[in-house]
Amino acid sequence: MFSTSITQGVNPYSQVQKNTTVRADQSQAYHGTAQTRVAAQTDAVVLSEEARRMYGELVPGEKAEQVEQDNPRIPPIHLWENLVNDPEYAEEMARFSAYQMDRPLLRMNPDAVQVPGGVLMDGSMLYPDGTPVTFSDGSWQEYEDAFNREAALVREQRIKVYEEAVRNGVSGADLYRVIHEFNFSLPESYLEITGRANRREMLFARAGN
């Protein structure tokens, strides 16, 4: 029910190639400074109509309109200095972030009675738009399966971006930045479902923006 359109034209590293001046001492430059910037993507990244329809069907009341992200809001990286000062750690974090599988997140319903033992009851959890989740009719499983198929395509594209950056000599904190900016350049509805939209606002708030 989902298409691959979420990953079409998504390659932040192509902007790295266009916007980064690569010096001869590339390795030291990337380790010692924050030179690489992934520019805001010029290609709007949007969910397909089919994907948006699926979200609308499974999450009643969710708006089908997808906000274009010609200028996605990329949050600052928390503890950036630590990544700059420890390139090996930064590269480990970059690889982990590139290869991880995104998952759909739910919120606990504060108005529902919570059953001891972690048993998920209808209405005990909420979709991102606040709609109660019904587990008994199979709609949550259908929603999760559909999202996981889409997330697998995102992961595949993210790994390609990561491996291309490595091949081109990007390392240390700048390698982590490539993946960070890829993740936050995805469609807003995807960021909402994975919890990155909330994290983005937390990062901006922490930075005082």
Which residue in 89, 88, 81 sits closest to 27, CA to CA? Answer: 88
Are 184 and 176 spatial neighbours (Cβ–Cβ below 8 Å)? no
The domain total for the chain is 1
Which region among 72-81, 87-96, 122-131 has the lowest average model confidence (pLDDT)? 72-81
pLDDT at 49 over 70: no
Cα separation, 135 vs 140, in Å, equals: 6
How far is 176 from 111, CA to CA, in rounded Å? 39
Q: Which domain holds residue 179?
A: 4-206
Residue type, 185: S
82-96 residue pLDDT tens: 999 999 999 999 999
User: Residue 123 gets which letter from DSSP?
Assistant: T
Q: Which residues contact 200 (CB under 8 A, 6 or more apart)?
A: 73, 75, 184, 191
pLDDT of residue 11: 47
Specify the higher pLDDT residue, 148 or 48: 148
DSSP character string of 106-119: -EE-TTSPPBTTTB
The reported pLDDT for the residue numbered 119 is 82
Mean pLDDT of the chain: 75
Q: 127 — phi, psi (to 5°)?
A: -70, 170
* pLDDT at residue 146, as a whole number: 97
Q: Measured between alpha carbons, how far is 83 from 121 in angstroms, rounded to an integer?
A: 42
Q: What is the pLDDT at residue 65?
A: 33
